[in-house]
Amino acid sequence: MAGYFPNWTLKTSGEVMPDERLPTGQTIIAGLQHVVAMFGATVLAPILMGFDPNVAILFSGIATLLFFVITGGRLPSYLGSSFAFIGVVIAATGYAGTGPNANLPVALGGIIACGAVYAVIGLIVQGVGTRWIETLLPPVVTGAVVAAIGLNLTAVAMNMISASPYTKWIALFTVVAVALIAVYGRGLVQRLPVLIGGLAAYILYAATATSFGAPPVDFGKVAAAAWFGLPNFVSPVFDPRAMALIVPVAIILVAENLGHIKGISVMTGRNLDGLIGRGFFADGVGTMIAGSGGGTGVTTYAENMGVMAVTRVYSTLVFVAAGVIAILLGFSPKFGAVIGTIPVAVLGGLAVVVFGLIAATAGRIWVENKVDFAQPKNLLTVATALILGAGDLKLPIFGYELGGIGTATFAAIALYHLLNRRAAV
């Protein structure tokens, strides 16, 4: 009789399935590769929201280990900071885009509430299956919401790169560097375009900033920081307005994780539908734990799937190693100090790429699911959500103000199902 966890069998060549394992040394190296591959996103997302990257990466490690336990070690996944939270967190806290977020506790309360809703959805799915989610959130709606999130963040990116002509050129160099690496890179390099492109722009800025009157990179804090120390944990504050803004992100997280698990099923040739509810629940609980101490909401990662596709190593024990490595980095103030030296112009360039990719992902969702835009119900649903999200329409509801992303999300769901009634009768 099978136990709760698999009996991992040793595999030294070829494809390594979730219930197989590499030798210990190779497992640790493979885990480190996943952490590095996730750096560009896991570190960038908290910076763009004014979170402490040390705390964020610490909780990403904790959430990854928690996911491993809840899914019985049968579903390979690394949980990192979700970009779906960026727009709503900025809206809820009024964050200006640079430095620590002064209203971070308010955001944390909303993140915990979102995680709770997400966890409840996981429990329901575990009990009754996923068909109701696929009915409520068809690809046209999911894509519309994803696009609205990316477009809603446009102003944030523009504010970060517009300080001077020099910062604009540095930001554009960052964009080009990331794009060139993503297209022309090979192997692992191609899997790290944000990290390597950002590093190239960082070096260029450090070498030229003083010549153009821009603030130089200050390495003093890096030298002064200790190698090991406690992160700066923050306690949440539960503000109803912020919670109303952030909770709708649970819908996006459901869509992200559903796609991730379906993708792994295809890659491994195994039916993992029985683990979807557990996966949702694990993500939700991980998000609640992260929010309780100052971390960002967490989700599964496309970069994570990319590394697995390249290496053909799906062993879940690799993610145990990755989680432990992430936790160790979280306890290194020197790592956080290095992250703190990244120029705003470089971050702005990375934001242009990342926010644009969020919006462009909608196109991929529509294409892969063959969404027919000749049908007015699909065209009108998407058109409405895009403008509401891009224009950041704030809608007062019961004394609270719903931000542009929340407005676009609920409008897309409601409008699609209203317009879809004709097809159903």
According to the model, what pLDDT value does residue 62 have?
Answer: 94
**CA–CA gap between residue 326 and residue 58 (Å, rounded):** 6
Q: Where are the beta strands (DSSP E) in 78-197?
A: 80-81
Tell me phi and psi for residue 21, to 5 degrees: -145, 155
Listed in sequence order, the residues at least 6 apart from 86 whose beta carbon sits closer than 8 Å to its beta carbon are 45, 48, 49, 149, 153, 156, 355
**CA–CA gap between residue 99 and residue 343 (Å, rounded):** 11
Tell me how crowded residue 226 is: count the other CB atoms within 10 A of its CB.
10
pLDDT along the chain (425 residues), means of 10: 79 81 84 71 78 88 94 88 80 77 89 94 88 83 81 78 86 89 75 76 88 81 82 88 84 76 77 86 94 88 66 85 90 80 82 77 80 91 91 74 75 90 58
Place of tokens 């102003």: 155
Residue 50 gets the label, from left (phi > 0), alpha (psi -120 to 50) or beta, of left
**CA–CA gap between residue 254 and residue 316 (Å, rounded):** 21
H helices within 269-297, ranges in order? 276-293
**CA–CA gap between residue 405 and residue 399 (Å, rounded):** 18
**CA–CA gap between residue 113 and residue 208 (Å, rounded):** 45
- 231: tokens are 């992160």
According to the model, what pLDDT value does residue 402 have?
Answer: 65
**CA–CA gap between residue 329 and residue 80 (Å, rounded):** 14
pTM: 0.72
3-state helix, strand, coil in the chain (%, to 5): 70, 5, 25
Tell me phi and psi for residue 297, to 5 degrees: -65, 150
Listed in sequence order, the residues at least 6 apart from 117 whose beta carbon sits closer than 8 Å to its beta carbon are 247, 250, 284
According to the model, what pLDDT value does residue 327 have?
Answer: 92
Please state, in angstroms and as integers, the Cα–Cα distance from residue 385 to each residue in 150, 231, 408, 414, following that order.
12, 39, 5, 11
**CA–CA gap between residue 202 and residue 372 (Å, rounded):** 43
Residue extents of the structural domains in the chain: 18-424
**CA–CA gap between residue 407 and residue 393 (Å, rounded):** 7
Tell me how crowded residue 268 is: count the other CB atoms within 10 A of its CB.
17
Q: Do 389 and 404 contact (CB within 8 A), yes or no?
A: yes
Tell me how crowded residue 151 is: count the other CB atoms within 10 A of its CB.
26
Buried-state track 58-73, b at ≥16 Cβ within 10 A, e below 16: bbbbbbbbbbbebbeb
Report which secondary-structure segment, H or E, holds 400. strand 400-402
Q: Do 61 and 326 contact (CB within 8 A), yes or no?
A: yes
- 122: tokens are 């996981």
Identity of the residue numbered 171: A
The answer to whether the Cα torsion of 310, 313, 319, 325 is positive or negative is: negative
According to the model, what pLDDT value does residue 425 have?
Answer: 45
According to the model, what pLDDT value does residue 191 have?
Answer: 58
